[in-house]
Structure 1
Amino acid sequence: MTFDGSTIRARPALSVVIPCKNEAENIPELIGEIAAALSGRSFEVIVVDDGSDDGTDAVLKGMMRERDWLRAVRHPQSCGQSAAVRTGLLAARGDIVITIDGDGQNDPAFMPALVDALEKGGPAMAIVAGQRLKRTDSGAKRIASRLANKLRGAILQDGTRDSGCGLKAIRRPVFLLFPYFDGWHRYLPALAIREGYTVGHIDVVDRSRRHGVSKYGILDRALVGAADLFGVWWLRRRRKRIPRPVEVKVDG
């Protein structure tokens, strides 16, 4: 799979990846907020339309005519959020990629803090993940999420209390090392640690969805998440030693 970035004049420092499905009403405002949050920085925005049928593609085409930093990639059929995030990361041209959900619940105002924390962490830090405060989901979803995160944290020991927050800043070269599977986007910190990198966290404030409805239920997340959790645990157990290659040079 190849992507044409010829419409972008210069290689950006930052790439923002937005996975979305049927978010035609939310995307325009979200893109405007991202542009304001990253004003003064070199960036591109890549929206991955995961098989929308609500006119999201038409909305994006209209916006792209006036924004040379905005790109769109479309999945003809829905492949899921993990696949959409991966497509965006593969298409990204910046060395640092910021991921954010397309429903508008993640606040782009926290993006500069994510990037600054990642840069301050140096090359040894691969990811800075947002950790949501004041969740706006229903009580049942918050309880289910809290229990799932406690179980995941106890098993994976990755220091991440909120694996479902879409706001993350990731070093793209490290991402290319990760094995892919559906549900993978919830385990990026654990996969980074598996490769020998550190992970940072910052608190972010969740917002209510402005338009549309959530694409996820409680039961479907729980059933799939259990299999993914033990799969990631197995992957980490199978990584016995992380190579630290040193280039061989001829003396003299």
Structure 2
Amino acid sequence: MVNALSTAASGRLRGELARFLLVGITSVVIDFAVYRGLLALAIAVHPAKTAGYIAGAVFGYFANRSFTFRVGAQWRQRELLSFIAVYLIALGANVVVNSLVLAVLGRGEIALASAFVAATGVSAAMNFVGLKLFVFGAGDAGANAAVQATTASPARADGAARLSLSLVIPCYNEAANLPLLVARLRETFLDDRAEVVLVDNGSTDDSPAVLARLLAGQQRIRSVRVEVNQGYGYGILTGLRAARGDVLGWTHADMQTDPQDALRGLALYDQAADPARLFVKGRRYGRPAADVAFTVGMSVFETVLMSRRMWDINAQPTLFPRAFFERWREPPHDFALDLYAYYQAVRDGLRVQRFAVRFGERAHGSSHWNVNWQAKLRFIKRTVDFSLRLRQGLQERA
């Protein structure tokens, strides 16, 4: 497990570096265009260099926040102040290096280009380290602190009783993944308010025997069995009906999402002024470009069809109050359950709070629907059919 997490961290760092370079190249183009444009207007070198750098920095802030490090948390003033501090330090280094190279090589075209490359390289390296450790990386630290808070503090800040969590994880032919999943649950689910309901969703492999062996003696990790698979949503609904918590939710068993993310979601309920009106959902990062494009297309379609903003509908975990679940009527039994829950939350006026979750590779096996474009087209057809029925039902009730 440690090796798997280390590999995931290395993969995440490589992805961040690649995206940072792409953003950096675009920022450099903006920076250089402004710099040379101002020089052409007879502006002095240092003011022109500073203006170009600031123009590239403004673009870099927004692009690195949303694209490179994929920060899901709400904007905070401390983040912007940290960003300004990092960029001012790097700006100082940039101007100093630029001046030193020009002092050595003169003011010719080759000297200008060489000074620019050297200054940009130094400041870029400083920026990446600063953004990673002190600006956008602070969100991960804050999330981890929130998880620790859920296991340490005995009561909510306002004195109210802290809510309990039941996390449902449907498992269909996941015998190879179950040892990793249960080990991760035993390692991270240390909050005694949280239970996990593993749903053996009609598996035809060795899942029943594997679960019986892994869960022997466990108090807060248990399983329920669906004898015949009737769909992804049906398995989740079976687990939700067996759950005991005040906050209910689900995630996947394939280890593409870390089950510990659910505790980060529970921490948001601990912090909420009105947890009974809160719907929490992850927002994925680290996915292949083709999958992101697919998600964007489906999100736009659902947003237009439902006349409500719907984004990254199938992201996990999904968490909500028990009372909200008890109001559901005829929820779907397939993958449309994610859409159903999300839409009902928006329609009922719950406050939807999203947070960034890493979406990695499956530990074992393959997806039951995201196999190829034919499978995706079948998924799209089922989702569109359900969406049209859902909208028609809403219009009839209105």
Higher Rg = 2
| Pair 1:47 & 2:205 matched | no
Distance of 1:171 and 1:208 partners within structure 2: 30
Aligned counterpart, 1:177: 327
Distance of 2:203 and 2:233 partners within structure 1: 16
Distance of 1:140 and 1:203 partners within structure 2: 19
2:389 counterpart letter in structure 1? G
What pairs with 1:42-191 in structure 2 (closer than 5 Å)? 42-121=193-272, 122-136=274-288, 139-179=289-329, 180-182=331-333, 183-191=336-344
Contact 1:96 1:169 in 2 (8 A): yes
- The 3-state SS of whatever aligns with 1:188 is helix
Distance of 1:120 and 1:234 partners within structure 2: 37
Work out which structure has the larger RCO, using CA pairs closer than 8 Å and 6 or more positions apart in sequence.
1
Distance 1:160 1:97, change over 3 A: same
Shift of 1:32: 2.3
Distance of 1:146 and 1:85 partners within structure 2: 25
2:234 counterpart letter in structure 1? A
Distance 1:129 1:158, change over 3 A: farther
- Alignment match of 1:19 (pick from 139, 160, 170): 170
Shift of 1:90: 0.6
| Pair 1:199 & 2:352 matched | yes
Distance of 2:222 and 2:250 partners within structure 1: 14
1:24 counterpart letter in structure 2? A
Bigger fraction of residues in strand: 1
2:304 counterpart letter in structure 1? A
Q: Which runs of 5+ in 1 are unaligned?
A: 1-11, 241-252
Deviates more, 1:64-73 or 1:221-230: 64-73
Contact 1:129 1:202 in 2 (8 A): yes
TM-score of the superposition, structure 2-length normalised? 0.53
Aligned residues: 227
Deviates more, 1:147-156 or 1:205-214: 147-156
Deviates more, 1:171-180 or 1:194-203: 194-203
Distance of 1:71 and 1:14 partners within structure 2: 14
Shift of 1:97: 1.6
Aligned counterpart, 2:376: 218
- The 3-state SS of whatever aligns with 2:166 is strand
Distance of 1:79 and 1:48 partners within structure 2: 12
Aligned counterpart, 1:3: none
Deviates more, 1:73-82 or 1:28-37: 28-37
1:53 counterpart letter in structure 2? T
Q: Give CA-to-partner distance per residue, 1:37-84, whole Å, 9 cap, x none.
A: 331332221111111111011111111213122221111111111101
Shift of 1:151: 0.9
- The 3-state SS of whatever aligns with 2:260 is helix
1:69 counterpart letter in structure 2? R
Q: Which runs of 5+ in 2 are unaligned?
A: 1-162, 370-374
TM-score of the superposition, structure 1-length normalised? 0.82
Q: Give CA-to-partner distance per residue, 1:179-233, whole Å, 9 cap, x none.
A: 2123223331211232332221111110100100110021221110101112233
1:209 counterpart letter in structure 2? R
Bigger fraction of residues in helix: 2
Shift of 1:117: 1.7
- Alignment match of 1:30 (pick from 167, 173, 181): 181
Q: Give CA-to-partner distance per residue, 1:141-162, whole Å, 9 cap, x none.
A: 4432321111112222443311
- The 3-state SS of whatever aligns with 1:187 is helix
- The 3-state SS of whatever aligns with 2:313 is coil
2:349 counterpart letter in structure 1? G
Distance of 2:394 and 2:178 partners within structure 1: 36
Shift of 1:22: 0.5
1:133 counterpart letter in structure 2? Y
Shift of 1:100: 0.9
